[in-house]
A and B are shown apart, each in its own frame.
Chain A
């Protein structure tokens, strides 16, 4: 299957899931004709539900999935490491910390861009710290270990920040930030973070060919005329923009950025550049599907997205580690 057909197929899946997301309420309401009759009878209510609740949710799920998927593919190409993903290398954790500080200090109430900028700063800081600790030519092991350390430290600091926040309710919101959710986010938040995510996606996508050249080794890439430093900077910037902004709106959603590139890689050549767009679409599909799933479960409080992605993603991650070990052995 060539790349174009894969992208069209994935695009169709994303579109279908997007539509399904707009139709899904709590439980199986969307499939109940009586519910539809009621909405037809109360158009004002229907309008509010679709435009103020479901649409921002679906859009945010789509953008977040795309951001995580493409960032995962970009990091895996940049670091030449199949285990790289915004969560594993600590970028998501840093973004959550930055966003929590921006939000709970009241800065984002005063200045709405403070939220994505906080996420951005946190993500950039975490990435810088990763390169500082692991160095430019780190082995797989070093990179993953450094990422784990950063993610753990960021998580701990996020919990601390929430405990120290002025609002008495802050400490109870840690589940949102650690596990992620797109539930009940108003359109204003979505519109605030969307430009950053889209910009990040565009930046990463623009580097397709450079990333492909990088797999041949830095020297070979340079001889092909690629400015390796600039490539790495812009790719990192794009991923940071996308991840930082999306985490600031949804919290940390794990494993999507890890799984999406691996799911599409068998269908495109092994070149990282070619996986960027399909990974974004696959990531969007994953998050949309997870978000539909949490709404269909009719009992208990609504699950956080990270729970669903972890249930699917953790076994996947283990399989990946085993496969990497087997290949390395």
Chain B
């Protein structure tokens, strides 16, 4: 009897000793940018749910891999239905949902995202650490750094001014990822006052006289007023700035797509 008890105690101890520090098994992402990074960094089967935007190739460059993963719309109830052991969100994501989830004892990690190319490695390593995939994170950062170095080599010595126009407004305000990408590609921002939410009228945009207008995504996928603005005739007539079109979702999130955009822009401007 005693031997049986001893054996069971030893077995129990052995089980408990298995490191619980293997990464989370059921990760739910409630933000488009964390969707993207999770798809890039997580192990297969680690992700339990992504947002509904993850399957849209115009919003998520890794959309092709998101097909089989169940989607959520960011509500607490949906998140709970996946029984997550980790929730990934963007820092300061609006609404009471994250506080509610924390109050229920779920681990929620908020990552500061999409601020600049300089802060990108930090954001990526935070996501990688949360997922327990530090090596994958380091690899991704190295890949991005290589692309940015190539951009530095390819860009012209004298920069033109450029502004980015995406659906919903201008994305090249100083503190945005878009501005950072333009700078990495060798552009500088035109002088213009911008309203607080980044939505400028076409007239203000043209009057700030950028040499180059970067439009993303290249073609509007659906109908909406914001997307229709990307085809406004005032952007394309004589005297209008030169237009460069860059792939979908290039300026929205941290990740290789942003670095790729910087590289492409640098090359297109190179003589």
Contact = CB atoms under 8 A, between A and B. Distances in A.
* Bind each other: yes
A26 B207 CA distance: 10
B229 A52 contact: no
Given A53-B202, A300-B195, A302-B201, A45 B239 contact: yes
Contact of B238 (A47, A187, A188): A47
Contacts of B62: none
Contact of B232 (A186, A299, A302): A186
Q: Is the interface of B mostly helix, strand, loop or mixed?
A: loop
B222 A165 contact: yes
A184 B206 contact: no
A271 interface: no
A43 B239 CA distance: 8
Give the one of A26, A42, A54, A168 with max B CB within 10 A: A168
Given A25-B203, A168-B59, A183-B201, A104 B223 contact: yes
For chain A, give the interface size range: 35 or more
Given A42-B239, A106-B222, A169 B227 contact: yes
B196 A167 contact: no
Interface residues of B, number: 33
A53 B202 CA distance: 8
Interface in B156-183: 167-168
Contacts of B167: 169
23 contacts: A25-B203, A26-B204, A44-B240, A47-B237, A47-B238, A53-B206, A106-B222, A165-B223, A167-B223, A167-B226, A167-B227, A168-B222, A169-B167, A169-B222, A169-B225, A169-B226, A169-B227, A170-B223, A184-B202, A184-B203, A184-B229, A188-B233, A301-B199
Interface of B: 53, 56, 59, 167-168, 195-197, 199, 201-204, 206-207, 209, 220-229, 232-234, 237-240
Interface of A: 25-26, 42-45, 47-49, 52-54, 103-106, 108-109, 165-170, 172-173, 176, 183-184, 186-188, 299-302
Given A104-B222, A301-B196, 12 more contacts: A42-B239, A44-B237, A45-B207, A45-B239, A53-B206, A53-B234, A165-B224, A169-B222, A169-B224, A170-B224, A186-B233, A301-B195
Nearest 4 A-B pairs (CB), nearest first? A44-B239, A167-B222, A52-B234, A167-B224
